[in-house]
């Protein structure tokens, strides 16, 4: 039996704001919540139809289901599905006459609170918005008030009631009732798909200009450490950080990304939109920015950026496409009676960019002299715990449980002694300050 040393070199990012990085592959993309009885049937059917049409994985749940099946769909108890919720799950709450079941549901309140903290989409229609308020996630948030009777309750919960048919913020989507169900559902579906595509593609490298500047698209929903190369109108699967020339800046680049969805990148206008060819709807993806490559690492992927993000991206702005883009407005005419809260400041964008690019990242794994060397690079400052969670393999195997507290920036080493047969799989887990998982890595030891 071999004695294996596992050497881990870590530079740790601050745990603040990293809950949204917990799990990249959600168990479900949407959780549809209805009261135990007397739910809004029209809004429910609209949601089911659109989620099915766009092939979005979803689960139906109620606090205490009276029926096991609704429209041939199994209704689960909220108690049984809380662990299936991740930061990428949209929580869709449909109102009705039996609001007491939602208000008294501790699992629902916990799911909404956890989802809100992680940056998940939390959506309510009709009285469903009151359930969001009851969970305490609407403090200072503008929402659509179902009726005048609801206004007082919303105000007491810290929300800002609005008379519009619906209100869209960064993560909260609310609508008055069934008459607004189609538009409300459309916006939720678009947001789910936009997040899915953003996570798959991440930051987009478009190429280098003749003046030497590197051109990137920084997503408005910056949640993935992936940097993809866009070459000849396609995502370059083989791109490994090499530079290539950018097309003319007065030419839009169109990239197919999911079914009928394409990315329309317009370097000339500094904007990138997601476009759905079937419906004609568009969604903001991000802004085109220009960066001096001398500030980047060798692979142009920000893993070894040499200056703070604020100094690298000084003029990043997400255009207020909701109000200033004719292309966006023409494709989303149903939003004219909606209130849309747009973040026009740069500070939160730079913070999210810094959080992402200062994240830990495994740069290489080599095998030499029975020592596994894992190099994790970044610029982060923070604290957390590095832990070897478990192992898996044929025959008897054991691993010495250990953990190392990480403080501040720099390199930290944790040496774990492992008795293991050939082919064992080690699972590395990095926990943040609040116990949230910042990174999990599975490594097969030869």
Closest CA to 443 of 378, 372, 387: 372
pLDDT band with cut points at 50, 70 and 90 for residue 328: confident
pTM score, two decimals?
A: 0.73
Instruction: Match 């766009």 to its residue by tokens.
Output: 54
Cβ partners under 8 Å of residue 297, min gap 6: 303, 304, 305, 306
3-state secondary structure of 31: strand
Length of the chain: 446
> Domain residues of the chain, as ranges?
2-17+359-444, 34-195, 202-339
**Residue 331 pLDDT exceeds 70:** yes
Mean of all residue pLDDT scores within the chain: 75
Higher pLDDT, 50 or 345: 50
With beta carbons less than 8 A apart as the criterion, state whether 27 and 80 touch: no
State how far the Cα of 442 lies from the Cα of 22, in Å rounded to an integer. Answer: 15
CA dist 273 → 233, 255, 280, 334 (Å)? 14, 11, 12, 18
pLDDT level of residue 44 (50, 70, 90 thresholds): very high
Q: Provide mean pLDDT across the span 80-107.
A: 86
Q: Check: CB of residue 350 under 8 Å from CB of residue 318.
A: no
More confident residue, 18 or 37: 37
Other Cβ atoms less than 10 A from the Cβ of 149: the count is: 8
Whole-number pLDDT of residue 43: 95
pLDDT attached to residue 285: 87
Angle between helices 41-53 and 181-201 (to 10 degrees): 30
Q: Which tokens sit at 165?
A: 């048919």
pLDDT one-digit tens code per residue, 256-303: 998 889 998 887 777 888 988 888 888 888 888 888 887 777 777 766
pLDDT tens column, 132-172: 999 999 998 999 999 888 999 999 999 999 989 999 987 89
Comparing CA positions, the residue from 115, 22, 25 lying closest to residue 431 is 22
Check: CB of residue 51 under 8 Å from CB of residue 58.
yes
Q: State the CATH class of domain 2-17+359-444.
A: mainly beta
Distance CA 390, CA 37 (A): 43
Q: What is the per-residue pLDDT across 308-326, written as a single tens digit (0 to 9) for each? A: 666 777 666 665 555 556 6
Q: What is the mean pLDDT of residues 169-182?
A: 92
At residue 361, the pLDDT reads 47
Strands 383-392 and 403-407: antiparallel
Cβ atoms 74, 60 nearer than 8 A: yes
Placement of tokens 């690492």 in the chain: 297
Do 29 and 188 contact (CB within 8 A), yes or no? no
For 106-131, the pLDDT digits (tens) are 999 999 998 888 788 999 999 999 99
Q: What is the pLDDT of residue 210?
A: 82
| Of 333, 343, 440, the residue nearest 386 (C-alpha) | 440
Calculate the alpha carbon distances from 233 to 194, 247, 258, 266 in Å.
19, 10, 14, 12
Residue pLDDT, tens place only, 295-312: 777 777 766 666 666 677
| Sign of the CA dihedral with 207 first, then 209, 211, and 217 last | negative
Q: Hey, do 2-17+359-444 and 34-195 end up sharing a CATH topology, with the first three levels equal? A: no
Between 389 and 193, the more confident residue is 193
Residue pair 268/288 in contact (Cβ under 8 Å)? The answer is no
The CATH number of the structural domain formed by 34-195 is 3.40.50.880
Q: What is the side-by-side strand order in the sheet with 403-407?
A: 403-407, 383-392, 425-431, 437-444
| Beta bridge partner(s), residue 62 | 77
């Amino acid at each position: 039996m071999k004695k294996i040393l596992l050497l881990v070199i870590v530079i740790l990012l601050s745990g603040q704001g990293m809950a949204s990085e917990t799990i990249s592959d959600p168990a479900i993309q949407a959780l549809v919540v209805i009261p135990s009885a007397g739910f809004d049937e029209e809004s429910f059917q609209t949601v089911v139809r659109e989620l099915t049409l766009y092939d979005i994985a979803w689960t139906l749940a109620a606090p205490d289901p009276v029926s096991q099946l609704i429209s041939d769909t199994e209704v689960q108890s909220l108690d049984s599905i809380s662990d299936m919720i991740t930061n990428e799950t949209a929580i869709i709450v449909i109102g009705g006459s039996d609001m007491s079941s939602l208000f008294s549901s501790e699992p629902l309140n916990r799911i909404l609170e956890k989802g809100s903290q992680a940056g998940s989409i939390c959506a309510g229609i009709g009285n469903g918005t009151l359930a969001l308020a009851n969970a305490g996630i609407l403090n200072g948030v503008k929402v659509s008030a179902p009726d005048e009777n609801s206004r007082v309750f919303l105000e007491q919960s810290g929300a800002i009631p609005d008379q519009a048919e619906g209100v869209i913020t960064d993560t909260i989507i609310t609508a008055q009732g069934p008459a607004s169900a189609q538009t409300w559902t459309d916006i939720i579906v678009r947001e789910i798909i936009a997040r899915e595509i953003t996570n798959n593609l991440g930051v987009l490298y478009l190429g280098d200009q003749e003046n030497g500047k590197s051109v990137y698209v920084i997503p408005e929903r910056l949640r993935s450490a992936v940097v993809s190369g866009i070459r000849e109108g396609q995502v370059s699967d083989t791109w490994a950080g090499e530079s290539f020339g950018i097309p003319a800046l007065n030419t839009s680049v169109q990239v197919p990304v999911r079914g009928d969805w394409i990315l329309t990148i317009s370097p000339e206008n500094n904007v990138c939109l997601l476009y759905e060819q079937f419906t004609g709807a568009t969604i903001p993806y991000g802004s085109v920015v220009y960066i001096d490559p001398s500030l980047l690492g060798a692979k142009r992927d920000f893993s070894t950026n040499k200056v703070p993000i604020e100094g690298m991206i000084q003029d990043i702005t997400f255009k207020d496409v909701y109000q200033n883009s004719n292309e966006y407005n023409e494709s989303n005419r149903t939003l004219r009676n909606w209130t849309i809260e747009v973040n026009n400041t740069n500070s939160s964008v730079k913070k999210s960019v810094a959080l992402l690019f200062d994240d830990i990242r495994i740069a290489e794994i080599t095998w030499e002299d029975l020592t596994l060397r894992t190099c994790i690079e970044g610029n982060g400052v923070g604290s957390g715990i590095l832990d070897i969670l478990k192992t898996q393999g044929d025959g008897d195997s054991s691993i010495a449980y250990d953990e190392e507290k990480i403080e501040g920036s720099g390199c930290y080493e944790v040496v774990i002694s492992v008795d293991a047969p050939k082919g064992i799989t080690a699972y590395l887990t990095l926990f943040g300050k609040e116990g949230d998982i910042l990174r999990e890595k599975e490594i097969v030891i030869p």
